[in-house]
Structure 1
Amino acid sequence: MEDVFATNDALAVAELVRSRQIGAKELLDATLVRLREANDRLNAITDFYEGDLLERSIAAAGDGQFQGIPFVVKQLMADCAGAPTTVGSRFFAKEPVAAQDSAAVARMRRAGLVIVGRSNTSEFGLAPTTEPAFGGATVNPWRVDLSPGGSSGGSAAIVAARALAMAHATDGGGSIRIPASLCGLFGLKPSRGRISLAPIGETLAGAGAQLCVSISVRDSAALLDALAGGEPGDPYGAPEARGSFLDATRRAPGRLRVAFLRKPVGWDSMDPVLIAAVERTAKRLEALGHHVEEAAPDYDAAAAGTAFGTVMCANTLTNIQVRANGRVPGPRDLEPVTQLHAEQGSRISAHDYIRAVQVFHRTGRQLGAFFEGFDILLSPTIARTSLPLGTVRMDGSLETYEEGLAPMVAFTSVCNAAGVPAMSVPLEWTDDGLPIGMHFVARYGAEATLLSLAAQLEQAHPWRDRRPPG
C-alpha cells in the first residue's frame, strides 16, 4: 500500500479496489496517512474530513469508475454538504455552511470518489499562486521556495507529491493549467458549459470552469465523462460529445493542423528558454505526423485583459455580498487586493460590464475564426519558467498585483474569455529539472481532440516517472 499512487493512476487503483486486490478501507486509511504527511510539508489541504463528514463521504461514494478513490475538493466553486466553502478567505471560514453538494460534487460521489477534505486556494481565486493570508502559503514539492501556482495550487501540490493521483481544480483565467504547468501535471480546462456549475448560474461571465489536475491523461478524461453534462436551467451547454472522453484517449488524433506561438499575443518578446521549449514541442508534433506552422490568432489582447479586470472586479463584489448574506466584512476580513477588487467593482456601471462581456464574445468569435484553419494552438502555459513565493502579492496595490499576474495568464486567460478548451501538458523541463507545461488550445467543444493528442504525447514522451525529489 505504500506509495500506491507513485506509479498508478486513479483508474488503475480503482481497478485494484474492484478486483479486491486492495481493500477500500485499507486504501482510505493509508491514503489519509500519506496526505497528512505530505500536508505537513506542503500546506496543501485546508481541511481533513473526519467523523460524520468522512463517514458521509464513504457512504455517498458510488460504484463508478473511481470506486474507492480518495479525493480532495478545492475550496472554490464547489460546495460539499455540511461544511463551508471558504474561498480561501478568513471571512467565510465558518459560514455559510453548504446545505447540499453542488452538482459537480454530487457527480464526483456517484463516480465512486471518497471526498476526504478540501484543498488550498488563493482568496476568491484571484491570484495565480496559492498564498492566502487565511491558512498560509502552499509550497511546490519540486522546490519549497517556489509556488505551485494557483489558484488550484493546493490540489496540484498534493498530486505532484503523489499523495493522490488527481484532485479537483477550477479555472477562471488559468487556475487549472498554471499549477499543472508548475507542478509537472496534466491539466485540462473544459469548454464553457461542459460541466455544470449549479446551483450557481455562471462564474466570471462564463469564464469559470472546473475539472482536476492529474498524473495521467486518462484520469482527467474519465472524470470529465463523469462530470460532463448540464443541469436544468444552466445558462450554457457545450456541444454534445461523440462517444466518451476516455475513449478519445484510446484512439489516434489523426493528422492535426497545429499553429504555434513564440510569444504571447500583444507581447514583444519571451524568455528564450520558453521559445526553445515551444520549438522542441513543435518538432515532436511534426515527428508524430502533424502539420505544424507558426501562426497567431487575431484578437485584441489588451482589450481582453481590460475586460477580464472589469468582470473580475464586478464578480468579486457580487460574490462577497451574496455569500455574506447581510454580513459586512471587517477591515481585516479580506486581503487588500481582494478589497480593492471589490471597491473597484462597486464603481463599474452596467454599461461597462456589458461592454466587457461583449469583448469576451468578440474574442470568442475571433478564436473561432482562427480554428477554422487550425485544430490546435501551441504555446507555453505561462510566460515564465518558475514562480518564487511572493511574486504575485495580494497585500499591496492593484498595480503591483497586476504586474505579477500578467506573465502568468498571458496565454491562458483568453481561453476562459472565449470559452474554448485548453490543456497544459508536462512535456518540457528546465536545465535544473523544473517542469514546464506546454499549452494546447482547441476550438469550442473539442476536448476529445485535445485528449486524444495528449494521450499520444503521453505515450511518446511519458512524464509520470518524473517526480519531485524526496
Structure 2
Amino acid sequence: MSERAVAQGRRDFLKTGAALGGAAAVGLGGAMPGTAAAAAATALPLPDYEQWDATEIALRIHRGDVKPSEVLEAAIARAEAYAAINAVTVPHFDMAREAARALDGAAQAEREARPVLSGVPFALKDLGIALKGTVTTNGCAFFKDAVADHDSTLVQRYQAAGLNIFAKLASPEFGQTGTTESRLFGATRNPWDLERSSGGSSGGASAAVAAGVLPVAHASDGGGSIRIPASHCGLFGLKPSRGLIPMGPKSLEGWLGLSAHNVISRSVRDTALLMQLSQGAEAGARTLPPTSDLLAALEQAPRGLKIGLFQTNLFGAGVHAECLEASSKAATLCAGLGHHVEPIDLSALPFLEMAGSMGVVTASGMLYTVREREKAIGREAREDEFEPIDWQSLQKAKSYTAEQILKARSVFDRGGRVLDELFARYDLILSPTTAALPPKLGALSLDQPFEAFARNAVQASAFTSMFNMTGLPAMSVPLHWSAEGLPIGVQFAAPYGGEARLIALAAQLEKAAPWADRRPPRLG
C-alpha cells in the first residue's frame, strides 16, 4: 500500500463519515439525548449493537441472529457517524467486508464449528503491531507508509479466534505520552468531553469503545497506556504480567519488558475472553508467568482479600481530590464486599531512579525502531518527520551506553523485589489510576516545550508506570465519575501472574457497582 493510497483511504473515510454520519457527528459534538442529532444516531444499523459486548455479538452470530456483515457494517457506520472523536487512523473496511461476506451464508452446523469470536468486528492499535499487507504508522510521519510483511503473533491469535480486523486506532507518536495527539492525525477526543483527552497511548481504542464503535479493542501499555485511557473514558483495562501476551515474532519484549499488549473493553468478560484466547508463550519466549483459566475466574468471587491502599504521588506532584475520592470510595466498596483494606507505604521503592531509567529505555527502544526503518527504506529519518519531544529523545538516545541500559534493568528489578516482598503480605494494591482528571487537549502533546510537558506527565503515570517497570499486572476499573461527569478509574495491582485474581475482583466489582450503562451523554 502506497503513501498516496493510505492518505486517499483516510480522506475517503472522513468524507464518507461527513456525508453519511453528519447528523450523528453533530450530536457527538454537543447534542443531548432527545434532540434531532440523538435521533439520527438511533437510525444507525442494528440499534441494539452498542448495548452488546463482544461475547454477546459472538453468541448472536453463532445462533444466526445476526450476520457477520451486519455487525461489521454497524461498527463501520458508527466509526463514520462518530468521526468527531478521530479514533480511526487506518481503515481496512474493504478487507473486513470481504472476510465478513465469506462467513455470512454459513449453516448452523458450520457456524457452531467456527472459532468462538468468528465474525466479531475488531481493531488494532496503530502502534507496534503488524497486520500483513497493511500500514502501521506508529503515529509518526516517518512510518506513514510502512507496510507490514508479516502478522504479529498476537494478530495470528486474534485471527485464529475469529476476530474480523477492520481498522487501526489512533496512538500518539511511539506511544510516548498519556494523550492521543499527533501531527500526523491530529487529536483524538474523549467522548465524555470533546475538549479533553481520551488518554494515551491507547486513546483511539478507548475513544472507539466509549463511543460504541466497538465493545472491545486492542491496546498496549508501556507506562500506563491501557489503564490511563480506560480511566479517562469509563472503561475496563488490564495490563498483563510481563510475558503473558506475545509481543513477537520480531521482538519478544517491548522496551526491555516495559510494554505489554492486551485490550480495552466495556465488560470484564470480554477482557477475560480475549486474554484467555491470546495468552501463552510464543516460539523463542523465555519469560512466561503462569497462565490461568480467566473465564472460570469470572465466576469465582474472591473473599477476604487483604488490599493495600496507596494514594501518594511518588513524583511529589500531588493527587487531584477527585482521584483520591475515587480510590477511597473503592476501598469502602471493597470493605463492604468483605475485603480488608489498609494504607501502605511504598517509600522503599526506588521510584525516581526507576523513572529516570525508564526514559533511557523508552528512548533507546524508539531509536532502535527508527534505525530499523532507516535500513528498510535506505535513507535517514528527518527532524520534520517527528514530534519535537520525540526528536529530542532520539538525539539523547544516541549517547546512551550499554551500561545505562543494564543499570535501568537492574533498578527495575530492584523495584520488583520491593513489590514482591509487599505482595507476600498483601493480595492486591489499590490506588488511583491517574493523579489528575482527563486533561485538556494539548496539555500532554509531544509538540510543545519539554518543561511544560513534564509538569503534566507526572500526573498521568505516577501510579501506573511502576507496574510496567516491575512487570506486574494491574487494571483500571471504572468506579467513579467526577462532579462534572468525567470518568475516573481506580487501579488494582497484583503479584506476577495474578491475572485471575484481578479478573475475579473486577467481575465482583462490576456486579456491585455496574458501569456498562454509563455512556457519554453527548452520544445519547
Structure 1 residues 59 and 102, CA, compared in 2 at 3 Å: closer, same or farther? farther
Matched, 1:100 2:150: yes
Q: Is the 8 A contact 1:57 1:116 kept in 2?
A: no
Aligned-partner SS, 1:211? strand
SS in 2 for 1:450: helix
- State yes or no: 1:234 paired with 2:278: no
Distance 1:58 1:169, change over 3 A: farther
In structure 1, the residue matched to 2:61 is 17
Task: Quote the Cα distance in structure 2 between the aligned partners of 1:105 and 1:88.
Answer: 19
**Structure 2: distance between partners of 1:115 and 1:433:** 32
SS of the equivalent of 1:146 reads strand
Task: Find the counterpart in structure 2 of residue 347 from structure 1.
Answer: 399
Offset of residue 386 of structure 1: 2.0
2:127–2:136 CA contact under 8 A, matched in 1: yes
Decide whether the 8 Å contact of 1:47 with 1:119 is kept in 2. Answer: yes
Q: 1:396 to 1:30 in 2, by over 3 A?
A: closer
Counterpart residue number, 2:160 = 110
Aligned residue in 2 for 1:257: 306
Counterpart of 2:412 (choices 344, 360, 370) is: 360
Query: Within 2, Cα distance between the matches of 1:12 and 1:258?
Result: 32
2:115 to 48, 58, 64: 64
1:99-124 per-position Cα deviation (integer Å, ceiling 9, x unaligned): 12100011111111100010000000
Any conservation in 2 of the 1:196–1:230 contact (CA below 8 Å)? Answer: yes
Which residue in the other structure is 2:294 paired with?
A: 245
Match of 1:144, SS state, is: strand
Match of 1:437 in 2: 489
Instruction: Report the structure number with the largest CA radius of gyration.
Output: 2
Structure 1 position 88 matched with structure 2 position 131: no
SS of residue paired to 1:377: strand
- Which residue type is aligned with residue 56 of structure 2? A
- Within the candidate set 90, 93, 107, 1:47 is matched to 90
SS of the equivalent of 2:193 reads coil
Structure 2 residue runs without a partner (length 5+): 1-44, 104-110
Q: Residues of 1 paired with 2:100 and 2:152: CA distance?
A: 14
Provide structure 1 residue ranges, at least 5 long, that are not aligned to the other structure.
none
Q: SS at the partner of 2:492? A: strand
In structure 1, what is the Cα distance between the partners aligned to 2:379 and 2:48?
A: 45
Q: Is 1:7 matched with 2:51?
A: yes
What's the CA shift for 1:134? 0.3
> In the TM superposition, what is the alpha-carbon distance from 1:57 to its structure 2 partner?
7.7
Does the Cα contact within 8 Å between 1:42 and 1:157 map onto a contact in 2? yes
2:354 is aligned with 1:304: yes
Q: Deviations over 1:399-436 (max 9, x none)?
A: 33222211100000000000000000000110111110
Cα deviation per residue 1:304-324 (whole Å; 9 max; x = unaligned)?
Answer: 110111111111111111133
Q: Which amino acid aligns with 2:81?
A: E
User: AA paired with 1:127?
Assistant: T
Counterpart among 68, 73, 78 of residue 124 in structure 2:
73
CA distance in 1, matches of 2:313, 2:101: 45
Would the alpha carbon gap of residues 168 and 268 (structure 1) be closer, same or farther in structure 2, given more than 3 Å must change?
closer
* Cα distance in 1, alignment partners of residues 124 and 503 from structure 2: 23
Q: Which amino acid aligns with 2:282?
A: E
**1:160-199 to 2 correspondence within 5 Å?**
160-199=210-249
Match of residue 76 from structure 2: 32
Aligned length: 466
Match of 1:132 among 182, 206, 210: 182
Which of 403-412 and 320-329 deviates more? 320-329
**Identical-residue share of aligned pairs (%):** 38
C-alpha spacing 1:431/1:64, structure 2 compared with 1 (3 Å): same
Amino acid at match of 2:397: G
Listed one character per residue, the Cα deviations across residues 343-399 of structure 1 (whole Å, up to 9, x for unaligned) are 110011111111011111111111111100001101110000221100013123333
Deviations 1:238-278 (A, max 9, x none): 2232xx21111111112111011122235374222222222
SS in 2 for 1:47: strand
| Cα pair 1:130 1:151 within 8 Å, conserved | yes
Q: Distance in 2 between matches of 1:3 and 1:420?
A: 40
Tell me, yes or no, if the aligned pair for 1:3 and 1:162 is still in contact at 8 Å.
no
Contact preservation (8 Å) 1:202, 1:235: no
Q: Which residues in structure 2 correspond to 1:303-382 (within 5 Å)?
A: 303-325=353-375, 326-382=378-434
Q: Cα RMSD between the aligned structures?
A: 1.7
CA distance in 2, matches of 1:14, 1:41: 28
Amino acid at match of 2:239: K
The answer as to whether partners of 1:58 and 1:114 remain within 8 angstroms in 2 is no
Structure 1 residue 58, shift from structure 2 partner: 6.9
